[in-house]
Amino acid sequence: MKTQSVLFALGSMLLAVQDVSATCYGSGDKWPNKEQARRFVIDACNNNGGMFTGTYWKGQTKAMCPKSNGMGLLFEVQNLTPNEGNSDLNNNECTIRLENEINGCDRGGQSTVSGWRFRADPGAC
């Protein structure tokens, strides 16, 4: 019985594993104001008509470049899913993934999670 329980637990964990890759940029500008950058992301991912809300067709990239202390902050979200139709990114997922690039990478970075690419790069636009 113990072996069966362990195998069930391992199988459940494997199903929960996501395809993930992440990179922080080693050069370039640093975030001029991380709190303001996070507010830009929250608005773009959650507000009605926000830049990153709505559906994405296969391969589509949505981008914005708000200014913070005179510096452009590049934010991108790209649909890499193999679906032929449109895909909708969960607002919470959008917020968390872009905030990870702000909070975890002083010079920005990018990650790919479950068929979506997220990029945040201060000074790149």
The candidate with the shortest Cα–Cα distance to 75, out of 86, 66, 83, 85, is: 66
The CATH number given to 19-122 is 3.30.430
pTM of the model: 0.83
Tens digit of pLDDT for each residue in 71-105?
A: 999 999 999 998 778 999 999 999 999 999 999 99
Percent residues over pLDDT 90 in the chain: 77
Per-residue confidence (pLDDT) for residue 11, from 0 to 100: 40
- What is the band of 2 on the pLDDT scale with cuts at 50, 70, 90? very low
Query: CA nearest 45: which of 109, 88, 81, 104?
Result: 88
pLDDT value, residue 45: 98
Q: Could you tell me the CA-to-CA distances from 70 to 3, 30, 113 in Å, in that order? A: 60, 13, 31
